[in-house]
Amino acid sequence: MKNYAMKNISEKKLEKLFKRPELKNEKLSLVQNIVSDIKKNGLKAALKYAQKYDGFSGGNIKVSEKEIENSEKLLDGGSKSAIQTAFRNIKKFHLRQFPLNYEMETGKDIFCSREFRPIENVGLYIPGGTAALPSTLLMLGIPARIAGCKRIVAITPVKNKLNPALLYAAKLCGINEIYKIGGAHGVALLAYGDKKIKKIDKIFGPGNQYVTAAKSLVSIDAGGCAIDMPAGPSEVLVIADESANPEYVAADLLSQAEHGADSQVILLSASEQIIKEVNRQIKIQKKRMPRENIIDQSLKNSFSLLVESVSDAIRLSNRYAPEHLILNMKNYRKYRNQIINAGSVFFGPYSPESLGDYASGTNHSLPTYGYAKVYGGISVESFMKSITFQSAGVKGFKKLAPAVIKLAEIEKLDAHANAIKVRMKDEY
């Protein structure tokens, strides 16, 4: 992890530093070919890629209801208790997100309303390349269930058998349609479907660069489907002052770096001593991590930057728009309103990102790649869409008619004006 000082760095260099790892053209071309193949050949093609890239060797891609039902028996009490705790907190927080319908009279005798409906068919992408992620299934399955989605499909890459922890999380969420497939090929299968697997309407869930590229491709295809957000590899930005414990800060950076080789972690601080000690702690702690090789690759994309002040750090953070933002400092409350762009924020020394990743209640499916400037994290509303309604009485119609006719004439849309005029000539 390289170290830089704000006072010695040019604007051009700063721009380069904060740039995310890019998907190479040859990789994008590979994803395009996979997506096109599955759009044309369906499940047969998808299975070919599952065997090639995931090592899938099972006979049936679909998880049986018996496997889901028996998952609980294969877990120890501690694992079940942890999943149940996370389930309760996530459900509690997300129940408050259910959107409210409303109706109002915008003008005399003109009534308008807005109502929410669940998306009927949704697909949940659960990453599983290096580890099973029951937490992601909870983060997506719970709001989907609260929203009232009729069909919830989950997919995840696997060689043969799925981790019982993931299946138990699915059981708690009431999800019984699960397929052992992931990657760009899994995304394409969800988007286009097959004779045996009905396509879905919207795909949710994080993933690597290949998954992100596939989601983007199917979302712009008229025959594809919508996606939650164009997100990519995980990232965290930590702002630490002189009061921060370097051991804690290093641990938070490493916890995100272990996600994948293309993850990015950033430390901003006005204290040169903190940066020095954090780097020392990173070297010490990473040697105890089984995923040290992945962490080392991630750290190549990462850096620490000595800034002039906390305000400078906040400004740079807003510019970067991190997926996760940690403020490990004494007076974090005074900076709350200055935070404009971030997926999820963690305040103080005892709010590690791990809490939000698993069990505090907030959602960990968040915008990356700078998309926190325009997207929020997954919520109950993400699994719904709104419909507006309007009705006008005779008096309301007559009062509003002249304005509508005039606006239609300004825009040279005579048929719009005519739809009003034919009603105006009738006697009421």
Residues labelled as active-site residues: 323-324
Distance from C-alpha of 166 to C-alpha of 119, rounded to nearest angstrom: 24
Q: What SS3 state is found at 391?
A: strand
Distance from C-alpha of 265 to C-alpha of 286, rounded to nearest angstrom: 14
Q: How far is CA 175 from each of CA 31, 71, 138, 279, rounded to the nearest angstrom?
A: 28, 13, 10, 43
Distance from C-alpha of 45 to C-alpha of 364, rounded to nearest angstrom: 31
Cα of 70 vs its chain's centroid, Å: 30
Dihedral of alpha carbons 177, 86, 125, 140, sign: positive
Rounded (10°) CA dihedral 243, 247, 251, 254: 100
Q: How far is CA 186 from each of CA 49, 115, 158, 269, rounded to the nearest angstrom?
A: 9, 33, 11, 41
- Which helix (H) or strand (E) segment is 29 a member of? helix 25-41
Strand order of the β-sheet with 2-5 is 2-5, 303-306, 264-269, 235-240, 324-328, 344-347
Question: 293 — phi, psi (to 5°)?
Answer: -65, -45
The answer to whether 224 and 184 have CB atoms below 8 angstroms apart is no
**Count of alpha carbons within 13 Å of 159, Cβ hemisphere only?**
4
Q: What SS3 state is found at 121?
A: strand
Q: How far is CA 258 from each of CA 144, 219, 253, 289, 304, rounded to the nearest angstrom?
A: 28, 29, 9, 9, 17
Residue 95 CB neighbour total at 10 angstroms: 12
Distance from C-alpha of 128 to C-alpha of 130, rounded to nearest angstrom: 6
3-state secondary structure 68-114: HHHHHHHCCHHHHHHHHHHHHHHHHHHHCCCCCCEEEEEECCEEEEE
Q: Left, alpha or beta for 148 (phi > 0: left; psi -120 to 50: alpha)?
A: left
Distance from C-alpha of 371 to C-alpha of 373, rounded to nearest angstrom: 5
